[in-house]
Structure 1
Amino acid sequence: MTISLVLGLLAGLYMIWLLFTLAAYALPVGAGIALSLWMRDQDYGYLAAILGGFAGGVAIHVIGQTLFASIRSPIIRLAITVLFAVPASIAGYHAVQGLAGLAIEDGILLSILSCIGAVSVGSAAWMRLAGLDPAAFSSDPGPTRVGAP
């Protein structure tokens, strides 16, 4: 019984880490799935639909990264980041609602927890897309060199 509890805790923590790590890819994955389903509805066949959806998702991810890296306008960079962070927030909301819904009943507490999850997952995706390192925001300046200019 103890081993089951420990393994369940580790699995839950791994799922949370995975959610925060993969949240930045919610837009490319969603677009790839939508393209794949559309191609299948147009009678392209299963293999072509899967390959097309994969290519579409990769293309959206690469285009987003390229635009974010090459454009220096803060407003356009903000728009690109919001475009990628909003689907991540939606995915975070539903993931927290699904997991917390296993433990608590529907109600205001579940909605509040889901909103907190959406904000935190969206923030993590925002930071990952912007290339910000969370360790850079710590209050410890680190070691200083003596005699450095």
Structure 2
Amino acid sequence: MLTLGLVLNTVGIGLLCWLIVALAIYALPFFVALNIGVLALHGGAGIVGALLVAVASGALTLAAAQFAVAFSRSMTLRIAIATAFAVPAAVAGYHVALALSQIGGPSPVWREVFACLGAVCIGGSAWTRLTVFAETRRLEPAGGGGDYGSTGSHRRIA
């Protein structure tokens, strides 16, 4: 019985960690949805209306960010959007890793170390999952076009 309990606890903690990593990208849309849902509820939309508004706003936030990252040519805009998604995910990862590290009872220093590592991993996971839709573009010279110079004297011979 003890072995079965240890195995099931290990599997459960592993599934919890997988779920946290898989859902890390949704930290910012959840925050937006929660705030807009509460505003709609206080505005008189009712529970069902506030829930519908919250789900729509969270989905719209995620879709708009993925679209902007995927089709934006500005690297600054891509980095800003990815950072806006990665920071709340990193904060959530910090708190989850801190809570999980308290189960084992290590010293407070090791709890903070594990929590910081969790924040970096979860934030990096959210960053990666958001930027996976971005198209990588090769670097082109300032003249555009694909030749090596604007005068045409250095063109490749096919």
TM-score class, shorter: 0.7 to 0.9
CA drift at 1:105 = 5.9
Q: 1:75 is matched with which residue?
A: 76
CA drift at 1:92 = 0.3
Q: Which runs of 5+ in 2 are unaligned?
A: 134-158
Q: Does 1:116 align with 2:117?
A: yes
Larger radius of gyration: 2
1:88-127 alignment runs, 5 A limit = 88-104=89-105, 107-127=108-128
Q: Give the aligned CA root-mean-square deviation in angstroms.
A: 1.5
Question: Aligned AA for 1:35?
Answer: I
Q: 2:138 is matched with which residue?
A: none
CA drift at 1:107 = 2.2
1:1-149 alignment runs, 5 A limit = 1-104=2-105, 107-131=108-132
Question: Aligned AA for 2:123?
Answer: G
How many pairs are equivalent? Answer: 132
Runs of 4+ with deviation above 6 angstroms? none
Q: Which runs of 5+ in 1 are unaligned?
A: 133-149
CA drift at 1:106 = 6.7
Taking structure 1 as the reference length, the TM-score comes to 0.83
Taking structure 2 as the reference length, the TM-score comes to 0.78
CA drift at 1:23 = 0.4
Q: Percent sequence identity over matched residues?
A: 33
Q: 1:142 is matched with which residue?
A: none
